[in-house]
Structure 1
Amino acid sequence: MKLLHPCLMMLVMVLAMTGLAHGQAFVIETQGLRVELTGVGKRAADDVKAVVQEQIQLTEDTVISPPLADDLAFFVRQRYLDLGYPDAVVNWEIQSGAAHLAVTEGDVFKVGGIQYEGNTSQEEARLTRYLLRPTHDKLGGSSDSPDFVEADIRAGAQLVQRYFQAQGYLEAVVAEPTFDYNKTTMQVGVLVKITEGRKYLFGNVQFTGDLLGRDKELREAVSELAGQPYSEVKVETTRAKIASVYQMRGHFTAAVNAVADPAANTTGTVPVVYQIQAGPVYEISAVEIDPKFSAGAQRLIKASFKPAVGTTYSPSELEMMNRRLLDTGVFARMELEPVALPGGSLVLQVKGEEGMRTTVGFYGGYETFQGPIIGAEVRQVNFMDSGNTASAKAEYTGRGINGSLKLLDPALFGSRYSLAAEVGAETFSIFDYDRQSYFGKLALERRWNKHITSSLFGQVSANSTESTELTPEELGPDEYNLGAVGMALVFDYRNSPVVPTDGWMASAGVTASSGDVQFLKSEVSLAVYQPLTKKLRVAASARARAVQISGGVDELPIDLRLFNGGATSVRSFAEREMGPKSKSGTPLGGTATHVFSVELSYEIRPNLELALFGDAGTVSSEEDNVFASPTDLRYAVGLGIRYKLPIGPLRLDYGFNPDRREGEDLGAVHITFGFAF
């Protein structure tokens, strides 16, 4: 590259130092080498710095040499071209042992009008999305007129060609785009010439070889191919799907070969033959664990995969066992490698990497009912190299202060049961009463398969409530010690536990208490999620809870009663505020509640949904049976916004009260995390 004249270099340096030159001046020092840059605009500064640092780290030079300075200038200019600066110029000079790079960025062009010549079958807006995808991915945007980068447009044209081929136009050719630079508008017109060719469709699909009575499953695997555009991707995807039909039933070495020849076809309809070799059914004979794992990690691995030994190879079962291991938090990565042995047996080799043992987390937020929330948690997995998890948590909310210590054994006695032991304390202030509670809890849980989980638990607690406004009957027993045991069963067939859009979930539970207060609590729930279109979904739920106690609701402490209204029930009421109240306005709750909800959600943009919902519910002080017919239903209709986050959606709902009674609000606003049901 031509050297910049020393006098001109000095002028550029002076202008940069006085702020008259365009762009920034900055210095990069890495590995004892110094590079000074001028003329770099704010938009490109981070990219230019990254390029220079990367190139210096790749070199073994100990001094700035002319070849190194020339390389730096070359790669900086290449990055400018990638960023849409077609006229960028980078000159270099070496002074006092440092490389001086003087940048003239030039103009930035935008993508102008895009024309397609020869396209007769595809929607142009879709073609444009493929054409601009490389630019959008690099710049992180979705503008219709992004910065023009010639290399990106050429790469996008190749995506357009692959799209045509995926639509059955196997002979489609997309020529190199041509460009028309307009200095007046600073835009570049793009012309894309397309030769579509013949469209190929899937014809008759046949199977040969070891069908083993799987004809129905095989037909289901290829049911979507008939009459669809032919593509090798679909052929391969279906081939893998057919192979999995056999692998899921233990045929570990099952092989499927697809035979299709579009070139030999003159009608445009391509028949496909899948040749199947099922192979033997394999059984897992042993599990080999990488000795690099710690003793605690090995204990968990043995417990998780122990049920697999002696059973038929099943990828879905192994995946569930692997997921259970990852959920413990002990492992950062797990690798399962089945190795076939003579005689139809497999050895499951387990490798991977353990994660960080100790983590400290802080969180904060706001919820309509709780108010401000601030908390901290210290968590250690593989505690004392046992495989167990120990955690300590403290939380402040607008309602009170909570703290707990918890120890979790995810593989009790080497089994698939987990045992959690927890002790803690809570303070709670709401309306006209305050509550304090000290508790200890044991919970035994087992996940029987991917969808079914059961649990048994026992709890003891010492509780006290006080109020200067409520009568003894309204408050219920103000000091009581409680022992309780219970069980729960959950059937979860949702496609996601965090943001479900399809499937259903049902649960049932019962709790019996002893001590100063004796009662029997039961609850049942059902929720169904159904997608209507790609962006539109509907969901519905029904929930019922009841408490049976001999002395009626007055013998039940107020903090153990059942309430309705709020972000997860009838949303036209604030939290707990549906049903009977004291003279001072404190909700008194009841012994039975029902909630019925339906919600229609539409995704208006990625991760953002608009929802229309309706709720109905009851609170009763006379009924104590979950199957009792609900009476005096109260309603809510409303709108909501959901923004999906990794931990679940951030939800803002407004519920309108269509049958408002005296003293009730017109509606309620709810801000919270998670779905209503």
Structure 2
Amino acid sequence: MRRRLGVALGVAWLCLARGLGAQALECDATSIEVRKLDFVGNHTFRSSELADGVATTQSSFARRYFRFFGKRYCLDPATVTQDSLRLILFYRNAGFSSVTVGKEITMHGPRAAHLRFVITEGRPILVDSVTYQGFEGVPQFDRLVRGIEIKVGQRFDKSVVLATRDSLARRLRDRGYPLAEVLRSFDTDTARRTASVEFSAATGPRARLGAVNVNIEAPPGEHPRIDPQRVRSVLGIREGQLYRERSLEAVKRSLYLSEAFRHVDVQVDSASLVDAVDSLVTVNVQLTEGDLRAARASIGWGNLDCLRTQGSYSNYSFLGGLRRLDLNGRLSKIGVGKPFDFASGFCRSEVQNDIFSDTLNYYAGVTLSQPSLFGLRTVPTITLYSERRSEFQAFLRDTPFGVLGSVQQGIDGPLPQSFSYQLEYGSTFSSPAFFCAVFNVCELEVQERLLARNRLAVGGWSLTRNRADDFANPTRGSVLRFELRHASRAIGSSTDQQFNRAVFDGSFYRPVFDGGVFVMRLRGGTVLGRRLSVGGSRSFVPPQERLYAGGPTTVRGFRQNELGPSIYVVEDTFTVVPGAGDTSYFRIDQSGGRLRVVPSGGDNVVIANAELRLRSVFLPELIQYALFVDAGEVWNRGGNTASQTQVRIKITPGVGVRVFTPIGPVRVDIGYNPYQAPSGPAFYSASQRVGDAVERALYCVSPDNLLPVVPGEARPGGGTALPVQARGACPSTFQPARRTSFGSRLTFNFSIGQAF
């Protein structure tokens, strides 16, 4: 009894300390300011953990270092004494029975002091035995106790004992024992520094689900519109199923998130629990309907989207059932994209000069789904859509019609996965230089075939493991995602639209310092084209399925998509170098004139990021600073030139600031790029009108290229055709001018949301 009372008092005392620590001790004119608070001798716990458990608080960073502003906190002798006792109780509950805590106060002038707690931890008490009573009839007992925190040989900690008790009770109730209770007891020998721990279970009878009663109430003045029988059919629980507490919690959470109900209550009927004969328990589901229709609209601005807007309409009980109908539409590139190119001043200069951003992007789709959060193990969804989307400096994808069907499994489990099938009829426009340099497809007739509208059928599978503590701004945990995509004729794709793609992305979050977060992120991917050769064939991969990097969410020292091989398109003039006879060579010098960069992406990518996020000392709840180092590379297997296949990891450091707003963190990052722009092939695109037709030609103009050019043939009606260049690989001999000033090596990124 005394031991239990001591534990209760200790926990209550620590809770009180945390409340006091949050309030802290403020000052008057005669008070002594706490200029510094620290702990010595604490080898087991961090100083930040101990500081959270005491009431005395040091003055804010700004006050301690600048003196003139910031929050002052002052010293109270009685509170310091109580803090010593709080620390002793904290350590004793953690297994340090002989701990001692002393306090040292060093004055720094008449009104400032340095407070130090000197801790001698001593040897901890260790667990020498863990026993379980009352678990004899529980099936698969070894799985029940798998992963339990308390183990023989580890330090005895009363909080861990309490957590283990709660975990065992929860696991029993998830294995068919709705009345399960677990008691804990322990015996410590301070002389031998050992402790024995015992857990005793009163499991009660094992039960299965009986009747599931669903009652739905309508808002005042309205009639119920949702049939209870249809709700019952999709709850994901059924009569005869083994009782699991987590299944009932998942039902409740899913019903709330379906947005069809404003009140949800899922309870076990207490009368069914006291029946000593019947092992079936009754579940009562009490619901109150909410608004079954919703419409939303928004307008905003994006770094690469210029002005954008989107709207949606949702019906949460489509056709009187529990199906959900969503109508979604969005527009982007407003201001620069035709026909809404009336306000280019709202767009960044890079977007104004991007040929793939000069057309309005849109999406219109209708989605029909069984409510995806009703606890079903398998959730079907089908979407019909039409869209036009562009990737900065890379491609423009136009899809007049598409259909996407998906099935989700285990959405309430630890590893939700999704299977999908997507069929599109559309085309992808990219620069002719891209096809010539990357795939050695320089004939315009062949390029036109690849750019023509065709079928793209993709089967996909993805697996996600989310252990992060927050969706928008995680501080601890991890998020792992693995995705596979496959397209082939066997599932409906055109001959030129076949590939296999795999991408892994993992982010890891760990709290550091006081309110800081250290983040590690790894990303890797590969894509194989139609011939599925890993040895380096020039197999074709659609531009929208290639892998790109560079920009605000990958390697921030590079502009969007510009990490890896690049192609250059000359937009003004080149030099004609005479050759033998009537041949000549088209070349540019290294100055280049006006150029347009065409990121080619690659079929392999690897990215690693490390970021330290620190709260501002002035407005810690509003502003966050970041120090980061990004590294990565994009490359091709078996490219035409060495610049496409070489792997040289680029490392770019940088700093950033985040401002937390209702729409998410507004983020500005500045990356430093010490690297020279990669060498690559240079091209010039020429065209001339012949009657009602347009004749086009693409010329390699890389310095020192050896592809001869001969004059075009004379036309019968007068005039000549465009000059003809010999076929061959365009060498990657053009090297853009090196950035010499510090400012020219900085890359600015502006976006909303954390990078990862």
TM-score of the aligned structures, taking structure 1 as reference length = 0.64
Indicate the percent of aligned positions where both proteins have the same amino acid: 11
Shift of 1:257: 1.0
- Asked if 1:292 corresponds to 2:217, the answer is yes
| One-letter amino acid of the counterpart of residue 345, structure 1 | L
Residue 347 (structure 1) shift: 2.7
Among 504, 510, 530, the residue aligned to 1:526? 504
Cross-structure match for 2:280: 345
Aligned counterpart for 1:392 among listed residues 321, 328, 335: 328
Cα shift at 1:374 = 3.1
1:409-558, aligned counterparts within 5 Å?
Answer: 409-411=369-371, 416-426=378-388, 428=390, 431=393, 436-448=398-410, 449-463=413-427, 472=444, 476-477=448-449, 480-496=452-468, 499=474, 501-502=477-478, 504-512=480-488, 518-529=496-507, 536-548=518-530
Deviations 1:602-638 (A, max 9, x none): 3444865533232122146869xxxxxx942253212
Amino acid across the alignment from 1:455: F
Give 3-state SS (helix, strand or coil) of 2:145's partner. Answer: helix
- For 1:532 and 1:135, the matched residues in 2 are separated by 24
| Cα separation, 1, equivalents of 2:84 and 2:298 | 46
Check 1:423–1:533 CA distance in 2 against 1; reply closer, same or farther (3 A cut). Answer: closer
Instruction: Give the number of the structure with larger relative contact order, counting CA–CA contacts within 8 Å between residues 6 or more apart.
Output: 2
> Counterparts in 2 of 1:302-341, with a 5 A limit?
302=232, 304-307=234-237, 309-331=239-261, 334-339=264-269, 341=273
**Alignment correspondent of 1:209:** 133
Contact 1:168–1:229 (CA under 8 A) maintained in structure 2: no
- Taking the aligned partners of 2:226 and 2:62, their CA distance within structure 1 comes to 48
> Shift in Å at residue 403 of structure 1?
3.6
Unaligned runs of 5+ in 1: 1-81, 87-106, 178-183, 624-629
Evaluate the alpha carbon distance shift between residue 168 and residue 334 of structure 1 in structure 2; reply closer, same or farther with a 3 A threshold. farther
| CA drift at 1:523 | 0.9
- Per mean C-alpha deviation after superposition, the further-off stretch among 308-317 and 155-164 is 155-164
Q: Identify the residue that residue 564 of structure 1 maps to in structure 2.
A: 548
CA distance in 2, matches of 1:301, 1:153: 62
CA deviation after TM superposition for structure 1 residue 381, in Å: 4.7
Asked if 2 retains the 8 angstrom alpha-carbon contact of 1:546 and 1:591, the reply is no
RMSD, aligned CA: 5.5
Whole-angstrom CA distance in 1 between matches of 2:184 and 2:549: 58
Kindly tell me: are residues 204 and 335 of structure 1, through their superposed partners in 2, closer, same or farther at Cα, counting changes over 3 Å?
farther
User: Where do 1:66-465 residues align within 5 Å?
Assistant: 112-113=33-34, 129-132=52-55, 146=71, 161-168=85-92, 201=125, 203-212=127-136, 214=141, 218=145, 220-223=147-150, 228=155, 230-231=157-158, 233-260=159-186, 269-292=194-217, 295-296=225-226, 301-302=231-232, 304-307=234-237, 309-331=239-261, 334-339=264-269, 341=273, 342=275, 343-351=278-286, 357-367=293-303, 370-382=304-316, 384=318, 386-387=321-322, 388-397=324-333, 399=357, 400-411=360-371, 416-426=378-388, 428=390, 431=393, 436-448=398-410, 449-463=413-427
Q: One-letter code of the match for 2:362?
A: N
Once the two structures are overlaid, the 10-residue window that deviates more, 586-595 or 153-162, is 153-162
Q: Which letter does structure 2 place at the counterpart of 1:483? A: R
Mark the CA change 1:598 to 1:554 in structure 2 (over 3 Å): closer, same or farther. Answer: closer
Which amino acid is the alignment partner of residue 369 of structure 2? D
Structure-2 change in CA distance of 1:665 and 1:316 (3 Å) = farther
CA-to-aligned-CA distance 1:255-313 (integer Å, 9 cap, x gap): 21112467x97777553322123333322234333322654595785355335543222
Change in Cα spacing, 1:555 to 1:133, as seen in structure 2 (3 Å) is same
- Cα–Cα, structure 1 residues 381 and 333, in superposed 2: closer, same or farther, change >3 Å? farther
Partners of 1:465 and 1:529 in 2: CA distance: 33
Match of 1:61 in 2: none
Q: What is the aligned partner in structure 1 of residue 649 from structure 2?
A: 635
Q: Contact 1:135 / 1:146 at 8 angstroms: preserved in 2? A: no
Closer, same or farther: CA 622–218 of 1 in aligned 2, 3 Å? same
Q: Deviations over 1:638-675 (max 9, x none)?
A: 22557597868947363636574312876655444567
Q: What count of residue pairs does the alignment treat as equivalent?
A: 557
The residue type equivalent to 2:309 in the other structure is: G
- 1:614–1:638 contact (8 Å) kept in structure 2: yes
Cα distance in 1 between the residues matched to 2:401 and 2:636: 28
| Partner AA of 2:33 in structure 1 | G
User: Do the aligned partners of residues 581 and 192 (structure 1) sit closer, same or farther apart at CA in structure 2, a change above 3 Å counting?
Assistant: closer
Looking at structure 2, the residues matched to 287 and 485 of structure 1 have their Cα atoms a distance apart, in angstroms, of 42
The AA in structure 1 aligned to 2:421 is F
- Displacement of 1:167: 1.9
With over 3 angstroms needed to count, the CA separation of the structure-2 counterparts of 1:332 and 1:191, relative to structure 1, is farther
Query: Of residues 557, 580, 605 in structure 2, which corresponds to 1:595?
Result: 605
Q: Name the SS of the counterpart of 1:221 in structure 2.
A: coil
Contact persistence 2:393–2:598 (CA under 8 A): no
Structure 2 Cα separation of the partners of residues 167 and 347 of structure 1: 46
In structure 2, distance between residues paired with 1:363 and 1:227: 56
Structure 2 vs 1, CA of residues 198 and 559 (structure 1 numbering), >3 Å: closer, same or farther? Answer: closer
Task: Give the drift of 1:452.
Answer: 3.4
What SS does the aligned partner of 1:290 have? strand
Measure how far apart 1:544 and its partner are: 1.1
Residue pair 2:431, 2:598 contacting (<8 A) in 1 also: no
Q: 1:317 to 1:555 in 2, by over 3 A?
A: same
Name the CA distance, whole Å, in 2 between partners of 1:168 and 1:523: 55
Would the alpha carbon gap of residues 265 and 172 (structure 1) be closer, same or farther in structure 2, given more than 3 Å must change?
closer
Does the CA-based 8 Å contact 1:615-1:635 persist in structure 2? yes
**Aligned residue number for residue 569 of structure 2:** 583
State the AA in 2 paired with 1:407.
T
Hey, what's the Cα distance between the residues in 2 that align with 1:587 and 1:621? 22
Q: TM-score by structure 2 length?
A: 0.58
Quote the offset at 1:198 in angstroms: 11
For residues 474 and 652 of structure 1, the distance between their equivalents in structure 2, rounded to whole angstroms, comes to: 42
Provide the rounded CA distance (Å) in 2 between the counterparts of 1:290 and 1:641. Answer: 55
CA distance in 2, matches of 1:616, 1:215: 46
Secondary structure of the equivalent of 2:569? coil
Letter in 1 for 2:673: F
In structure 2, stretches of 5+ residues that fail to align are: 1-22, 65-69, 104-108, 219-223, 334-346, 348-356, 435-441, 571-594, 680-734, 740-744
Preserved contact between residue 653 and residue 670 of structure 1 (Cα < 8 Å): yes
Could you give the per-residue CA deviations for residues 311-361 of structure 1, whole angstroms, max 9, x where no partner exists? 222344455555544444435564432345433323333345666552524
Cα gap change, 1:506/1:279 in structure 2, threshold over 3 Å: closer, same or farther? same
Contact 1:547 1:592 in 2 (8 A): no
Contact 1:580–1:588 (CA<8 Å) still a contact in 2? yes
Quote the Cα distance in structure 2 between the aligned partners of 1:592 and 1:271: 60
* AA aligned opposite 1:636: K
In structure 2, the CA distance between the partners of 1:474 and 1:601, relative to structure 1 (3 Å rule), is farther
What amino acid is aligned across from residue 523 of structure 2 in structure 1?
S
Shift of 1:458: 3.3
> In 2, distance between residues paired with 1:190 and 1:633?
54
Query: Does the C-alpha gap of structure 1 residues 221 and 523 become closer, same or farther in structure 2, counting only changes over 3 Å?
Result: same
Distance 1:327 1:312 in 2: 25
- 2:370 maps to a residue whose letter is P
Shift of 1:168: 1.0
Counterpart-to-counterpart distance in 1, 2:258 and 2:326? 11
Classify 1:141/1:239 alpha carbon distance in 2 versus 1 (closer, same or farther; 3 Å): farther
